């Protein structure tokens, strides 16, 4: 990719990456190892506030939770941008999504599509990734969803 390609793509899509979310524990938002950047789990925070709390399939519906998963992915991209710059991304390798699920809820993949879809929108073929969508009983701060990314970067 040419220098600044992903930055220009974000601008053309009118997507602004948020500020990096402050860690809620003893960790860093992202770490580079060789050609890969691994993000810590990102919650659906915007301007330091959770977009919502509760269990998907109980307190929240799939569509609302998918919007939150999208925010998680943007927060992960912000952490990557802060560490190495968004334009260093070669491809998205893996997304892991966790969904705080009410009993009997089985549509975790539909929720995590919110994150996968924004990566495809931004990165096209380079955004196609391996993925896990996991239902869990609880997430930090009572968040409904959490997302981790692994990306390959230049250099």
State residue 111's pLDDT score: 98
pLDDT(21) > 90: no
User: Is the distance from CB of 79 to CB of 42 less than 8 angstroms?
Assistant: yes
User: Is the distance from CB of 43 to CB of 143 less than 8 angstroms?
Assistant: yes
1: pLDDT confidence band, cut at 50, 70 and 90? low
State residue 5's pLDDT score: 94
pLDDT in tens, 70-119: 999 999 999 999 999 999 999 999 999 999 999 999 999 999 999 999 99
Q: How far is CA 149 from each of CA 59, 60, 104, rounded to the nearest angstrom?
A: 26, 24, 27
In three-state secondary structure terms, 97 is strand
């Amino acid at each position: 990719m040419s220098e600044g390609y992903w930055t220009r793509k974000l601008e053309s899509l009118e997507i602004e990456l948020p500020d990096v979310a402050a860690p809620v524990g003893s960790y860093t938002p992202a770490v580079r190892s060789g050609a890969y950047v691994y993000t810590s789990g990102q919650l659906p925070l915007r301007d330091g506030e959770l977009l919502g709390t509760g269990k998907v399939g109980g307190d929240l519906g799939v569509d609302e939770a998918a919007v939150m998963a999208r925010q998680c992915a943007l927060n992960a991209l912000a952490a990557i941008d802060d560490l190495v710059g968004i334009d260093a991304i070669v491809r998205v390798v893996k997304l892991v999504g966790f969904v705080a699920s009410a009993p009997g809820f089985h549509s975790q993949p539909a929720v995590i599509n919110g994150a996968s879809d924004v990566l495809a929108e931004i990165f096209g073929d380079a955004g196609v990734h391996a993925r896990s969508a996991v239902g869990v009983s609880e997430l930090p701060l009572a968040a409904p969803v959490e997302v981790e990314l692994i990306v390959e970067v230049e250099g």
